[in-house]
Amino acid sequence: MRRILLWMAANRWLRRNLPRLWFARRAARRFMPGERMADALAAAQTFHGHQIGVLFTYLGENLRRVADAEATAEHYMELIAESHERGLDAEPSVKLTQLGFDFDRDLCLGHMEQLAVRARQHGNRTLWIDMEGSAYTEPTIALYERLKTSHENTGLCLQAYLKRTYTDVERLLPFQPRIRLVKGAYAEPHEIAYQKGREVDANYLALCVSILRAQKAGRQLFLGLGTHDVRLIEQVADHAASIGLPRTAFDVEMLYGIRADQQRRLKREGYNVRVLIAYGEAWYPWYMRRLAERPQNVAFALRQLLP
């Protein structure tokens, strides 16, 4: 099923036509509050009262026109300012291919620098770089190294299913990185990525242990757990406690609409919790990858089709 869903995410005909169908749009609402910035801000406001922060991601990828990249940068500039105006604990998470990475990497870096300045001016929020497929891993890390040198308030998403990720963490340690660790949601070959869930989980935990040990040793770095796997989160917390670190040594970051009961429970139990709110018209590939991540998500989506 995972292979089928990832194939559907990449299929151009389905990407163009399936989002037009009413039942597909209805099912997608399970994981996103709407397509407009106003929808995302309104959803974030509901978490504010529970002292749960949010991450915003404006959906879209692999833009090919300079004008589209500039429009996306302007959108995020407005989003950062509006979030600050409303008093929200909110951080943006951006795909580099939304900002022209495919056709002009210096232009993309310029946009990221502007966004990092805006985020610092509005509450010193972290500007996150979302990771894409493996073809982008090395150039994305290289851009982050350039960006982090002059903009401390920037973070990077890394993927636990890639076999290279431990080396990437070690490479980034001198930069005092802010890392959001996810399992990974793209179709990757077995030569570079673990294919079995238990292998990915084992590597995820090992990476977390390595990062927490670096924290304990005095390294300045941040860890965000981008997962809905509560068992794995609690294993990380147990290890943190065993070396004298509190639950607040890392953040728990879950998607809007998934395991909301666990989000509130973890917050009550002393964890730092954030919810990632995705929105925008270009939701189809992102949505299909979310279905591929967890078989339970497919059941959730099918239930949305019922009256």
Domain harbouring 212, CATH code: 3.20.20.220
Name the band, by pLDDT with cuts 50, 70 and 90, for residue 30: confident
Is 291 within a domain? Answer: no
For 70-105, write each residue's pLDDT tens digit: 999 999 999 999 999 999 999 999 999 999 999 999
Q: Is residue 235 part of a domain?
A: yes
The rounded distance, in Å, linking the Cα atoms of 152 and 276 is 22
Is the pLDDT assigned to residue 20 strictly greater than 60? yes
| Residue 9 confidence (pLDDT) | 64
pTM score? 0.88
- How many domains are there within the chain? 1
- Would residue 81 count as lying in a domain? yes
Q: Is residue 227 part of a domain?
A: yes
Residue 130 annotated to the active site: yes
CA distances (Å), origin 38, targets 30, 34, 79, 164:
17, 9, 9, 38
Catalytic-labelled residue, pool 30, 118, 130, 168: 130
Q: Is residue 166 part of a domain?
A: yes
Strand, helix or coil for residue 178: strand
Judge whether 9 lies within some domain. Answer: no
> What domain range includes position 206?
33-282
Pick the more confident residue, 60 or 13. Answer: 60
Instruction: Kindly name the residue from 180, 274, 289, 294 that is annotated as catalytic.
Output: 180
pLDDT tier at 294 (50, 70, 90 boundaries)? low
Question: Domain for residue 72, yes or no?
Answer: yes
Residue 78 lies in a domain: yes
Q: Are 54 and 276 in contact (CB under 8 A)?
A: yes
User: Would you say the C-alpha torsion 29, 54, 176, 116 has a positive or negative sign?
Assistant: positive
Is residue 180 part of the annotated active site? The answer reads: yes
Q: How many of the other CB atoms lie within 10 Å of CB of 121? A: 12
